[in-house]
Amino acid sequence: MSAPVHIDATSPAHTMPLHKFDVSDPKLYQDDAWHPYFDRLRREDPIHYVSDSPYGPYWAISKYKDIMHCEVHHEVFSNEIGGIQIEEQPKDMQRPSFIRMDPPRHDDQRKVASPIVAPANLANMEPLIRERTRIVLDALPRNQTFDWVQEVSIKLTTMMLATLFDFPFEERTKLTYWSDVAICNVNAPDAPVHSEAERFDELKKMAEHIGRLFNERRGQPPKFDLLSMLAHGAATRDMPLNEFMGNLALLIVGGNDTTRNSMTGGLLALNQFPDEYRKLQADPELVDGAVSEIIRWQTPVIHMRRTTSHDTELGGKQIKAGAKVVMWYISGNRDPEAIDSPDSFIIDRARPRQHLSFGFGIHRCVGNRLAELQLKILWQEILLRFPKIEVVGDAQRVYSNFIRGIRSMPVRIPA
């Protein structure tokens, strides 16, 4: 099996004292240099306390089983107390959303949006997704280099966002921009905003713009789009502005980042593991398992954060109430105690959906099946058209410790 091996004997991860480990540095993920740090944490200190970081003290949870424990015990590991990211939202700029809530509020609001991704609606959307995928792929140039992110991943996810919200199609790029605003690290040189105040102002403009559509839908009979569902849902129709901002950003990011970055990361992985690419080409029926493996391998959401509601114990460590607990999905998805040969990309795994990329428990990604469907259709249509799509340069990764994003990736389709 041919692929780069992520072992760097010169990495500080092998020589640095454990008490100095801080895996919150976004540069680790931009440089794709995170592997040895988590390898060591899983072996030596899987419940690791970081006393000093740019985000304050926190517990780094690196093993699959411990992450699962946090996920299923939401009564102890709260989303509502401190939010879902290692980085705090400023007190006067907080944007509550149902993923940042505990039951019962979480359950009430999540139920409003979940029908959009029910099996029957996914079946209804499949022909449209396939038609758009064909149009995008058929327009790609042959025998010349182009950016896969711009020409495929962003185009397809932006069209899907417009459909989910029934947003004016000609204005759909605004949705992608707002997603980038909501999720970016403001310290990145290429970020669309460079301060939390600027982010808040842009998301407020988003809420005002979409709020006009929201109010129109509220005055119309219910329809099957997210804005109409929110406008008519008992738990969501009267949200205050900051909560409206939060839920819009959650749904836009949720419909964008997992799929966009998996569309790119999957092509990169298949180029890194050419035996697996050939296996998929020889048997397109393997595409379902390949999609799950792509999502595990990419791990589009690097971490999720919880806050302890009271004193607890995890992995033999005593954790006080009010502690920041960070579940590193990117590490759990490479845990050899949970996943066989986790550092190999294998499209026909026996249990391909056993990964943490969508989270678990009550906060499991509400749109996971839609993301899988979009990726499945993309690869079905790629396999029908192209003998191979070649990655011909380095993927440029996003500066972030939350989203494992790929900003650009040069590819070529041989004529």
Q: Which residues neighbour 12 within 8 Å (Cβ) at sequence distance 6 or greater?
A: none
Indicate the length of the chain as a whole number. Answer: 415
CA distances from 178 to 150, 192, 412 (A): 16, 9, 30
Contact 129, 117 (CB under 8 A): no
Can you name the residues that pair with 317 across neighbouring β-strands? 314
Strand 410-412, strand 145-147: pairing = antiparallel
Q: d(Cα 94, Cα 81) in Å, to the nearest integer?
A: 12
Per-residue pLDDT at 4 exceeds 60: no
User: What value does the mean pLDDT of the chain take?
Assistant: 95
Which of 119-126's residues contact partners 24+ apart within 8 Å by CB, and which partners?
Answer: 119/369, 121/224, 122/369, 122/370, 122/373, 125/163, 125/370, 125/373, 126/373, 126/377
Contact 327, 70 (CB under 8 A): yes
Q: d(Cα 82, Cα 335) in Å, to the nearest integer?
A: 27
Q: CA nearest 81: which of 324, 253, 246?
A: 324
Q: Is 396 exposed, middle or buried (0-12, 13-18, 19+ CB in 10 A)?
A: middle
Q: d(Cα 232, Cα 224) in Å, to the nearest integer?
A: 11
* pLDDT bracket for residue 7 (50, 70, 90): low
The pLDDT tens digits for 288-306 are 999 999 999 999 999 999 9
Q: pTM, whole model, 2 decimals?
A: 0.95
Per-residue pLDDT at 45 exceeds 70: yes
Can you name the residues that pair with 103 across neighbouring β-strands? none
For the residues 391-410, what does the mean pLDDT come to? Answer: 98
The pLDDT tens digits for 63-84 are 999 999 999 999 999 999 999 9
Strand 317-319, strand 312-314: pairing = antiparallel
Per-residue pLDDT at 9 exceeds 90: no
Can you name the residues that pair with 308 across neighbouring β-strands? 77
Q: Which residues neighbour 278 within 8 Å (Cβ) at sequence distance 6 or greater?
A: none
Determine the Cα angle at 189 with ends 185 and 191, to 5°.
45
Residue 146 phi, psi dihedral angles, 5° rounding: -145, 170
Task: Quote the tokens at residue 185.
Answer: 């690290």
Q: d(Cα 220, Cα 195) in Å, to the nearest integer?
A: 38
pLDDT of residue 86: 97
What one-letter code names the amino acid at 382? I
Residue appearing with tokens 């540069």:
27
The pLDDT tens digits for 187-228 are 999 999 999 999 999 999 999 999 999 999 999 999 999 999
